[in-house]
Amino acid sequence: MLRRIFLALVVAAAIGGGIFWWLTIPATTVANSLPAYTPDTANGLTTFNAGGCSSCHAVPGQPDRLKLGGGLPIPSPFGTFHSPNISPDPTDGIGRWTEAEFVSAVLEGTAPSGAHYFPAFPYASYGIARVEDVRDLFAYLKTLAPVPGKVRDHDVPFPFNIRRNVGIWKFLFMDGTPFRPDPARSAQWNRGAYLVNGFGHCAECHSPRNFLGGIVTAQRFAGGPNPEGEGWVPNITQKRLGEWSAKDIAFFLETGQTPEGDTAGGSMARVIRNTSQLSSEDRAAMAEYIKSLPPVEGPPRPTRAAKS
């Protein structure tokens, strides 16, 4: 009897391990799946700014937003991540990457080594992007100056440091379906939806997350605790921005100034440094989409204890 139980447990463990291994296989883009293409570096620059690449990957403490040597610490409930060097440096950056490896990284969250990237890299949002935009971004990054310097490893404790487990996170929370325009909406609205939900990855900060770090779908864009651990990220649905016009939102994306006269601070100030570089048409498109978001009640904000 005990022998049968033991054998049953071994078989169950083997089946479970096989399912786990299958579900967590890192997805990659095969080079020969990419058709011949002439990259548009001007569009690559637009994608770079929409994606806020310099917000995380510019070397901290210096003014050049195109010095992409990485090193910014990104605290989270799962540990502290350190943004990598994405300059064209052949040793410390992405100078030796192939185009297919870059596409795999951005759209699939898979490193050239075949390992999963941690979702501090917002590939769950980037995954809806057009492959052509990603290829243009890669071409643009290669025009920038190489920045030598190896970034320190992430400070992530066990079990969150086991990258294979990220495959389960992707299975649960990463859709990866390419963006499909809504034919009932205007071209401008669809452009805004693509930028906000894709490269702009606005929901990554402006949405509450569950205990596994996945966005709470029912409260998408409804604000919540700052993923970096300090402060509160505001609700950007009409629950909070009902009195803002689309022009107000576009102006905020350009200047960081609210209709009330306040100025964006913290990580949002870094975002504005990027959105301010977009065309007025793209900012207007993002504003039209954000203005269309229905009101959604976010999680309750904790009250501050009264000072004695």
Q: Average model confidence (pLDDT) for the chain?
A: 88
76 and 91 both lie in a single domain: yes
Region 38-62: what's the mean pLDDT?
93
Please report whether residue 204 resides in a domain: yes
- With bands split at pLDDT 50, 70 and 90, how would you rate the model's confidence at 307? very low
pLDDT, residue 270, reads: 87
At residue 253, what is the residue type? L
173 and 45 both lie in a single domain: yes
pLDDT, residue 269, reads: 86
pLDDT, residue 305, reads: 47
Neighbours of 150 (CB within 10 A): 14
108 and 211 both lie in a single domain: no
196 and 131 both lie in a single domain: no
pLDDT, residue 306, reads: 45
Domain boundary among 134, 151, 178: 178
Region 70-89: what's the mean pLDDT?
91
- pLDDT of 47 above 90: yes
Residue bearing the bigger pLDDT, 187 or 160: 187
83 and 165 both lie in a single domain: yes
Region 111-135: what's the mean pLDDT?
93
Region 69-98: what's the mean pLDDT?
92
65 and 100 both lie in a single domain: yes
pLDDT, residue 193, reads: 96
pLDDT, residue 7, reads: 66
pLDDT, residue 9, reads: 63
Region 265-270: what's the mean pLDDT?
83
Tokens 């970096």 found at:
228
210 and 289 both lie in a single domain: yes
pLDDT, residue 6, reads: 55
Please report whether residue 240 resides in a domain: yes
88 and 157 both lie in a single domain: yes
Whole-model pTM?
0.88
Please report whether residue 17 resides in a domain: no
Please report whether residue 250 resides in a domain: yes
215 and 96 both lie in a single domain: no
pLDDT, residue 22, reads: 57
38 and 163 both lie in a single domain: yes
Q: In this structure, what CATH number is given to the domain that contains residue 280?
A: 1.10.760
Q: Which domain holds residue 202?
A: 182-299
Please report whether residue 71 resides in a domain: yes
Nearest-angstrom CA–CA distance, 83 and 304:
32
pLDDT, residue 195, reads: 96
**Total tally of structural domains belonging to the chain:** 2
Please report whether residue 5 resides in a domain: no
Please report whether residue 13 resides in a domain: no
Domain boundary among 149, 178, 207: 178
Residue 195: closest CA among 183, 184, 179: 179
262 and 201 both lie in a single domain: yes
Domain boundary among 116, 150, 178: 178
Please report whether residue 1 resides in a domain: no
Region 263-286: what's the mean pLDDT?
90
Among 156-165, 201-210, 260-269, 271-280, the range scoring the smallest mean pLDDT is: 260-269
Nearest-angstrom CA–CA distance, 302 and 300:
6
267 and 220 both lie in a single domain: yes
pLDDT, residue 20, reads: 56
